Structure 1
Amino acid sequence: MKNIFKTMFPVLIFAAFFLGCSNEDLKPIYGEQVAGKVVIRGYSTLKDSVQIVSNGKILKIGEKNTFIGKIIKDYEFVYYDNKEKNIDIINKATGEILHSYNFTASSPNDTLSFYVKDGIWLDDVLSFKPGVLSGTGVTGYKFIFPTMNRYSNSGYDGPIDGIIKKLNGEILGVAENITKDSFSNFVEFAFAPPPIFTVQLVKHGTTDSYIAGQQVVVQMVMQNNKSRMIVLDEKVNENGTFSGVEGIINLTDYFDF
């Protein structure tokens, strides 16, 4: 019996190899395989929970497959035959695809990062970086404005500057080139009471409001020894009319940069 087994064992190995290969080119059925990894970092303030779906498969974090708030997932998988990996962020209640991403084996280790709230989707958040404070006793800011003109319909599509002032009118600095897609330069100034300051939104390089005939001022609170990344957001009143701009979203509260 032992001799029969010794004779058959090489034959079985040989057969297993060819069964695992296609008949056409004798390559393994699964073809080329590349280990892939997508680092997923997100934050959702939507009322409905979101799901992360990869090529039709709902991803889990621990035992959870629906998410509100912070989302942290290191998704590891295999690329077969250089086929793309698709990842969708979906509103669970409505089934709406909020955003889709495609990844390929040409960049096997990649990152997906986003911030979402009603009316706002900020993509590739971790590609932005907060400013570095020069020392203690100071505070610093960058600004982005994804909802610019959503309600104001100002007719101005260029970059915006934010003139930062104390309540007594003293100018602390100017955040330049605020756009829908990218943050302004970093502005740093000394922390001093009272901790209230204003940001006047104007057309780049001017003191003219980005909305003709209407001054737009955002009131904010200083935070000592903090570098903040503020998302500006146009708001409307109950009649659907533009009512001003808020600056209460700070991305450094939600992400580890």
Structure 2
Amino acid sequence: MKNMFKLLFVFAFAIILFTGCNDDLTPVYEEQYPGKIVIRGYNALTDSLQVTANGELLEINNELAFTGTISKDYQFVFYNNQAETISILNKQTGEVLTSYTFTSGNISDTLSFYYNDGIFLNDVLSYKPGVLSATGRTGYRFIFPTLNRYSNSGYNGALDAIIKKVNGEVLGVAENITKESFSTFVEFAYAPPPIINIELVKHGTTEPYITGQPVVVQLVMQNNKSGLIVLNETANENGAFSGVDATINLVDYFNY
């Protein structure tokens, strides 16, 4: 009886050994690493977005297409150091808006974005609002992803935002606004009336970025608030440049 148990043990061990190897007896067990991607996005349009992981649709809150806030902590496994690719798609058109590739070299990462008409901002959580130096103040940083979308100004350099009260008093200047990066931080004391005028000029000058056409944006100050403002060129019904909008504040959509 003991010999029979020994034979059964050896037979079982052989099965385990050979099922864990390929034909040349090389182990086929895959290296595995846990992965986590924190997904935080906002879609301001009615057109739905979809999120895929290696081509497979991700379900978030029992949905496969999303408007408004998009939030998911996606956990998965890296096999044999293979990359994980996350893509953001427009459901209606199938257009891939962007793709991110993550590797096991960084098993925990963050994907964040903001989407609006003609605007796709990547990695928005890496941009931080400025820290106010005291209570009773307000402050801003600016980015301009749609610069020249309608104006075709011919100017592609950095801009400055000269911030003034309605009586013309200069409150501060935010410098080096570009399509891809936020400006320097500017802060000042909050005081009514809350309306401020923002003149968009070529960096280091007082010259409008559209030759011969001053570009002034109005913004409503918020006391004790620091904003990340997305500037956006607008057009009239004929598609001609009609001004710049400054109503998008990323702080309203993300937790910084």
TM-score between both structures, scaled by the size of structure 1: 0.94
Q: 1:37 aligned to 2:36?
A: yes
- 1:62 is aligned to 61
2:28 aligned residue: 28
Counterpart AA for 1:16: I
Post-superposition shift, 1:196? 0.3
**Residue in 2 that maps onto 1:15:** 15
Cα root mean square deviation, aligned? 1.6
The offset of 1:141, in angstroms, is: 0.5
CA contact (8 A) 1:162 1:200 kept: yes
SS of the equivalent of 1:176 reads: strand
Deviations 1:10-54 (A, max 9, x none): 53244224312333462234x222211111111011221111111
Aligned residues: 256
Pairing 1:1-257 to 2, within 5 Å after superposition: 4=4, 7-24=7-24, 26-29=26-29, 31-257=30-256
Identity among equivalent pairs (%): 61
Query: 1:43-88, CA deviations, whole angstroms, 9 ceiling, x for partnerless residues?
Result: 0112211111111211112312221111111111111122121111
CA distance in 2, matches of 1:158, 1:25: 62
Unaligned runs of 5+ in 1: none
The amino acid across from 2:32 in the alignment is Q
Query: How far apart are the structure 1 equivalents of 2:13 and 2:72?
Result: 39
Distance in 1 separating the partners of 2:143 and 2:66: 25
4+ aligned runs moved over 6 Å, structure 1? none
Amino acid at match of 2:130: G
Question: How far apart, CA to CA, are the structure 1 residues paired with 2:99 and 2:70?
Answer: 16
8 Å CA contact retained: 1:112, 1:124? yes
1:18/1:26 contact within 8 Å kept: no
